[in-house]
């Protein structure tokens, strides 16, 4: 085969690869190609139909999901059972990451909005990586820590902004969801 055509086809395959998808997520930005290949062999691909529940609020949490294709709605229900949308996520977004390192009940529910492919990474996977490849698991956990820290800082700024708007007091009726 002509090398030009070979390179064009190979490039397309690389762009469609799971490793290519993973390396563009903020948590995995610092991973080497070798580490990405290891991670590619650890994650779990899950396909969901439209309007399928990924998990419910208060379910035991055991890991995170990354959206490779499709859309996911994150929502919570109030005491009357009414759903309140917290976020709509699209390819490249991820959710559930806070349960990757510590078991905790899910703080919200997740449901697909269309046919969706998710890539799951679970606590058991991280623990196995920590035993077999500690440097790779450390890099993943540092990336996770960085992302969670950035989100906490953004939430802190938003709380401060809301406090200023509310004259220094935040109550449930002052918070928009």
Q: Where are the domains of the chain?
A: 3-174
The whole-number pLDDT of residue 32 equals 92
Q: Which residues contact 32 (CB under 8 A, 6 or more apart)?
A: none
- Report how far residue 112's alpha carbon sits from residue 131's, in angstroms, rounded to the nearest whole number: 34
pLDDT value at residue 168: 66
| Contact criterion met (CB below 8 Å) for 73 and 106 | no
Q: What are the CA-CA distances from residue 6 to residues 15, 17, 19, 33 (Å)?
A: 14, 16, 20, 21
pLDDT (tens, 9 = 90+) of the chain, 177 residues, equals 555 555 555 444 477 789 999 999 999 998 999 999 999 999 999 999 999 999 999 999 999 999 999 999 999 999 999 999 999 999 999 999 989 888 899 999 999 999 999 999 999 999 999 999 999 999 999 999 999 899 889 989 988 998 888 876 655 555 554
Helix (H, G, I), strand (E, B) or coil at 58: coil
Q: In which element (H, E) is residue 149 found?
A: helix 134-165
**pLDDT tens figures, 93-135:** 999 998 988 889 999 999 999 999 999 999 999 999 999 999 9
Q: Residues 138, 131: contact at Cβ < 8 Å?
A: no
Q: What is the pTM of this model?
A: 0.81
CA dihedral 154, 158, 161, 165 (to 10 degrees): 170
Backbone angles phi, psi at 83, to 5 degrees: -80, 140
pLDDT (0 to 100) of residue 43: 96
Q: What is the CATH number of domain 3-174?
A: 2.60.120.10
């Amino acid at each position: 085969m002509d090398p030009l055509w070979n390179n064009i086809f190979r490039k397309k395959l690389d762009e469609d690869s799971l490793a290519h998808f993973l390396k563009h997520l903020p948590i995995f930005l610092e991973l080497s190609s070798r580490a990405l290949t290891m991670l590619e062999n650890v994650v779990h691909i899950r396909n969901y139909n439209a309007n399928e529940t990924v998990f419910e609020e208060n379910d035991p949490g055991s890991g995170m999901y990354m959206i490779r294709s499709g859309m996911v709605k994150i929502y919570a229900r109030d005491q009357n059972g009414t759903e309140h949308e917290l976020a709509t996520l699209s390819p490249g977004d991820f959710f559930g990451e806070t349960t990757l390192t510590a078991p905790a009940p899910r703080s919200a529910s997740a449901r697909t909005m269309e046919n969706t492919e998710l890539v799951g990474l679970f606590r058991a996977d991280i623990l196995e990586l920590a035993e077999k490849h500690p440097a790779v698991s450390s890099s993943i956990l540092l990336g996770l820590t960085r992302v969670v820290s950035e989100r906490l800082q953004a939430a802190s700024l938003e709380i401060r902004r809301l406090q200023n708007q509310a004259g220094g007091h935040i109550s449930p009726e002052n918070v928009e969801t």
